[in-house]
Structure 1
Amino acid sequence: MTNTLSAPVVAPAGGGPPKQLVVMLHGVGADGHDLIALAPHFAQALPEAVFVAPHAPLPYDMAPFGRQWFSLTVMTPQAIAAGVRMAAAPVSQFLDAELQQYGISDDALALVGFSQGAMMALHVATRRPRPCAAVLCYSGLLAAPETLAAEVSARPPVLLVHGAQDDVVPAAAMPAAAAALDAAGLPVETHLRPGLGHGIDETALMLGIHFLAQRLRPPF
């Protein structure tokens, strides 16, 4: 299977072959280098994981630099839902190609998403044939929550982390997403970070590291 998305990669810190795969989906206006910078922090708890952060397929349409999974020139729920659906197939195909390349199964795959990347992670992970090990979402939202229960095909555990002072994706998006995920049968945890805006602070990072470490246990 050939990949259509390019991506920076961080090999397992332990030096051996990868036993887990962590795919990191960046936010709008960034690229894969943004989140892959966090890989060394996660690798301290996951020394057998390979980290991959694909560049979104589209150039950012509101600046002369950066990438986007879909356009956010229109921010209505309907436009966001349509954009996520349009971008879902390339992301899922990327996951399949990476799993095949490294000889890793879905139960050793984790998705990490920030902002628009979190939207993609939630949508794709819940509609794949098999559940992944974990979905970690920072500052995101759940697109088309009203369709999830009818469309869900996989129910991986999810952690949602959001800044209480987020002025890009309002913090209210977190409980709304959690309610829809819970109603669709997904195990979901939430954490609201007081004083945090649209970003990832040290506490949010540590919460995510602990979450992935608990769910990406090395195979016996």
Structure 2
Amino acid sequence: MIDGPRLKPLQGNARHLVVLLHGYGADGNDLIELGAQWRHLLPQAAFVAPHAPGHIFGFPPGLGGGRQWFGLDSYDPELLRRDPHHAAQIYAAMQTAAEDVAPQLDAFLDAELKRHGLSGDRLALVGFSQGTMMALHVGLRREPTPAAILGYSGALLGGRLREEIRGRPPILLIHGDADDIVPIEAMFAALQGLTDADCPARFHVCPGLGHGIDPDGLQLGGAFLAEALARPM
């Protein structure tokens, strides 16, 4: 069963739910701090950062939570840069893996919405790295459509989105141009894939940033969520 740390709304009962999906090798404790940073912008939002269900065997202690949404045995960032055709094959294989875990994440989202008495259009998904892959994969196939998807340092998996998409929420992708884990090319490929599915997205490139979130990305992400969640439902 998926679970993780939570933050209550600063004001009253929750009117929105923001779910923070961590990257490979971390756990929910790695991203719940984003909620603490954004609470003043979203005082009526509840935040939760679930731990991915997969454990990474032999993960070195002290380097995070050692969790994964799916395995990355075939992942090679250098190969992604050199060979776009092979990149498509890798992302297609990763989509298959994401499909296996998606029902667990969907069930968690449904349960959290029910906990707060909220409908699915009151949901915002935020991901980092592998968490962005899951946010895009699950969020674009949910009904009702989430209010927003914010993705840091991630990618869009597979090539069946046009046939499977159920809604077109506001999306913002933020990526460092010095990312050596998920190359910046992955963001541009995601933007093209979203456009092909008639789901254009905003984006921001963080100059000199590696695989992480910088102050500019944090500020832009918070402003994006505040704008998206302020829209009438």
**TM-score by shorter chain over 0.5:** yes
Runs of 4+ in 1 over 3 A off after TM superposition: none
Q: Which residue of 1 aligns with 2:143?
A: 129
After superposition, the Cα gap between the structure-2 partners of 1:102 and 1:218, relative to the gap in structure 1 and judged at 3 Å, is farther
Aligned counterpart for 1:169 among listed residues 159, 176, 182: 182
| Rounded Cα–Cα distance in structure 2 between residues aligned with 1:73 and 1:42 | 34
Q: Report the alpha carbon displacement of residue 218 of structure 1 after superposing the two structures with TM.
A: 7.3
Aligned counterpart for 2:118 among listed residues 83, 104, 114: 104
Q: Report the alpha carbon displacement of residue 180 of structure 1 after superposing the two structures with TM.
A: 1.0
TM-score (norm 2): 0.89
Aligned counterpart for 1:54 among listed residues 32, 50, 56: 50
Would you say the 8 A contact 2:120–2:143 is kept in 1? no
Would you say the 8 A contact 1:24–1:113 is kept in 2? yes
2:6 maps to amino acid: V
Q: Which residue of 1 aligns with 2:37?
A: 41
TM-score (norm 1): 0.94
| Rounded Cα–Cα distance in structure 1 between residues aligned with 2:93 and 2:58 | 16
Does residue 152 of the first structure (1) align with residue 152 of the second (2)? Answer: no
Q: Which residue of 1 aligns with 2:229?
A: 216
Q: Deviations over 1:57-101 (max 9, x none)?
A: 011236145111011112232331221111111111111111111
Alignment of 1:2-151 (within 5 A): 4-14=1-11, 16-61=12-57, 63-64=59-60, 65-75=65-75, 76-144=90-158, 146-151=159-164
Would you say the 8 A contact 1:156–1:187 is kept in 2? no
2:151 maps to amino acid: C
Contiguous gaps of at least 5 residues in structure 1: none
| Rounded Cα–Cα distance in structure 2 between residues aligned with 1:35 and 1:77 | 24
CA RMSD of aligned residues (A): 1.4
